[in-house]
Amino acid sequence: MVKAVAVLGSSEGVSGTIFFTQEGDGPTTVTGNVSGLKPGPHGFHVHALGDTTNGCMSTGPHFNPAGKQHGAPEDENRHAGDLGNIIVGEDGTANFTITDNQISLCGKDSIIGRAVVVHGDPDDLGKGGHELSLSTGNAGARVACGMHYWSARLRFVAFVAVSIEALNPNAI
């Protein structure tokens, strides 16, 4: 089993953690919690780049190794990174689980090292008739993003941070 995690953040106060798991060549399960959003549906995508040097704007377009048009998660003709919408409750929080057959955590088209982005508006799933429907789902601004990391790497980084604090208790 392969596992990855993306920790989301933004200057607008949106935060969250998204977990990805995949067994063998099977589907990838995406489980997450995002808070600080307005209620309703929000576009949720894997973008091509893991570059967040300019916030979410430097993450590139939706991850699309097959060169297809934007679509719904259940569509065969869609960007691999098109994960549809997450639904945010009145409390500003979304808790969700998505099972997807087009994203992978291993191989040449792995999403590891790429960014996951939450958008400010609903994704029209390529069916809205807007000029951006077939490229972005007309999902609006990028309001939060984070990069996928191997879960084992994050555990190692956390261990190193704890070890440094343990060696120098005055560093806290």
pLDDT value for 148: 67
pLDDT in tens, 33-84: 999 999 999 999 999 999 988 888 999 999 999 999 999 999 999 999 999 9
Residue 114 annotated to the active site: no
Candidates 119, 157, 116; CA nearest to 31 is 116
Indicate which residue of 42, 78, 114, 119 is catalytic. Answer: 119
Indicate which residue of 42, 78, 79, 148 is catalytic. Answer: 79
Please tell me whether residue 83 adopts helix, strand or coil conformation.
Answer: strand
Extended strands (E) in 23-141 = 28-35, 40-46, 53-56, 82-88, 93-100, 115-119
pLDDT at 172 over 50: no
pLDDT in tens, 111-134: 999 999 999 999 999 999 999 988
Indicate which residue of 42, 45, 114, 148 is catalytic. Answer: 45
User: Per the confidence metrics, is the pTM higher than 0.85?
Assistant: no
pLDDT at 165 over 60: no
Indicate which residue of 42, 70, 78, 114 is catalytic. Answer: 70
Residue 78 annotated to the active site: no
Contact criterion met (CB below 8 Å) for 9 and 148: no
Domain ranges of the chain: 2-171
Residue 42 annotated to the active site: no
Indicate which residue of 42, 82, 123, 148 is catalytic. Answer: 82
pLDDT at 87 over 80: yes
Residue 62 annotated to the active site: yes
What burial class does residue 21 get, using C-beta atoms within 10 Å of its C-beta: 0-12 exposed, 13-18 middle, 19+ buried? middle
The fold of the 2-171 domain, in CATH, is Immunoglobulin-like (2.60.40)
pLDDT at 88 over 90: yes
Indicate which residue of 42, 78, 142, 148 is catalytic. Answer: 142
State mean pLDDT over 98-111: 94
